[in-house]
């Protein structure tokens, strides 16, 4: 479907949870739909695509479908709301009101609500979630209606932050330097020793520090970045799966296919058909 086309059942769902350091995700994952993530209180760290960054109270992040991501609640208690929706749930009129809509809905985007506007935004989220507990023919349309209101309020009042996520507010400069090195060199035969040498630490120390900060190991992050770039190339090029695997740093196409299916839930061939 094109921008803002309607049809089918409502796929808008909202859920608010309070997390803390004891909550550990099993690994990075992706969804078939959009995820709009909002922080009410506290802070959390996001790992997405080829970067990671911190979200604090008043911050949104919009994650497109099939973008690998991982969340750590390492700063103490954090209350967040997650809204899941499909592109067809957003009307064409609302899409036209969003700043740089095509770019906004095709890459991970961060935007920040001003203190003065958070009350109305959070009330909208609360009302959307309340409709999850109502089982009638009005609940779905009301959740979709509230999604339009939420996005329009964001378009009116939020500060849409420029740049890649890993250009934003991450505090551990050495881990960020390692992440950027991986992002710039993922297509090469990259090892943990190469990354550690670029940062100036021993491989064992950097691996421990990276896991503590990002939530996954250094080698796992290298694979994470390669898979995300490979997924993009599968959709944007007609090159063979083996060619893409090699270009994204995988020396074994079978290992690539197994890793891809484990993280995306489908084979590279089937992913192209989505």
pTM over 0.85: no
Structurally, the chain folds into a number of domains equal to 2
Are 269 and 245 contacting, i.e. CB atoms less than 8 angstroms apart?
A: no
85 contact partners, CB below 8 Å, separation of at least 6: 11, 12, 13, 33, 34, 36, 147
Q: Where are the alpha helices (DSSP H) in 71-202?
A: 92-97, 101-104, 118-130, 139-157, 173-185, 192-199
Residue 160 has pLDDT above 70, yes or no: yes
**Residues 141 and 21 occupy one common structural domain:** yes
Angle between helices 203-214 and 192-199 (to 10 degrees): 90
**Residues 195 and 98 occupy one common structural domain:** no
Q: Does some domain include residue 2? A: no
pLDDT, one tens digit per residue, over 195-210 is 999 999 999 999 888 8
How far lies 144's CA from each of 36, 123, 138, 140, in Å?
A: 14, 15, 10, 6
CATH of the domain at 87: 2.60.120.280
User: Of 124, 144, 166, which residue is a domain's last?
Assistant: 166
Domain hosting 266: range is 172-271
pLDDT, one tens digit per residue, over 230-252 is 998 998 999 999 999 999 999 99
Are 34 and 101 contacting, i.e. CB atoms less than 8 angstroms apart?
A: no
Residue 51 DSSP SS3: strand
Which residues, listed in sequence order, are joined to residue 84 by a DSSP beta bridge?
A: 13, 35
pLDDT, one tens digit per residue, over 71-83 is 989 889 999 999 9
Q: Does some domain include residue 210? A: yes
pLDDT at 162: 64
């Amino acid at each position: 479907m094109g921008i803002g086309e309607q049809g089918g059942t409502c796929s808008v769902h909202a859920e608010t949870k309070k997390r803390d350091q004891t909550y550990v995700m099993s690994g990075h994952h992706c969804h078939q739909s959009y995820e709009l993530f909002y922080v009410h209180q506290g802070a959390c760290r996001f790992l997405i695509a080829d970067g990671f960054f911190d979200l604090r109270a008043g911050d949104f992040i919009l994650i497109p479908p099939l973008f690998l991501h991982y969340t750590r609640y390492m700063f103490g208690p954090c209350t967040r709301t997650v809204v899941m929706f499909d592109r067809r749930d957003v009307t064409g009129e609302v899409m036209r009101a969003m700043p740089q809509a095509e770019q906004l809905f095709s890459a991970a985007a961060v935007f920040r609500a001003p203190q003065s506007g958070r009350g109305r935004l959070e009330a909208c989220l609360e009302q959307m979630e309340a409709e999850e507990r109502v089982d009638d023919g009005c609940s779905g349309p009301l959740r979709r209606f509230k999604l339009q209101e939420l996005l329009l309020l964001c378009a009116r009042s939020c500060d849409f932050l420029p740049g890649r996520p890993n250009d934003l507010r991450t505090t551990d400069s050495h881990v960020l330097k390692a992440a950027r090195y991986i992002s710039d060199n993922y297509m090469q035969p990259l090892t943990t020793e190469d990354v550690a040498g670029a940062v100036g630490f021993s491989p064992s120390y950097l691996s421990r520090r990276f896991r503590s900060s990002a939530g996954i190991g250094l080698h796992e992050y290298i694979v994470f970045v390669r898979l995300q770039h490979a997924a993009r190339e599968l959709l944007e090029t007609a090159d063979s799966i083996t060619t893409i695997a090699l270009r994204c740093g995988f020396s074994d196409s079978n290992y690539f296919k197994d890793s891809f299916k484990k993280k995306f839930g489908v084979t590279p061939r089937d992913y192209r058909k989505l």
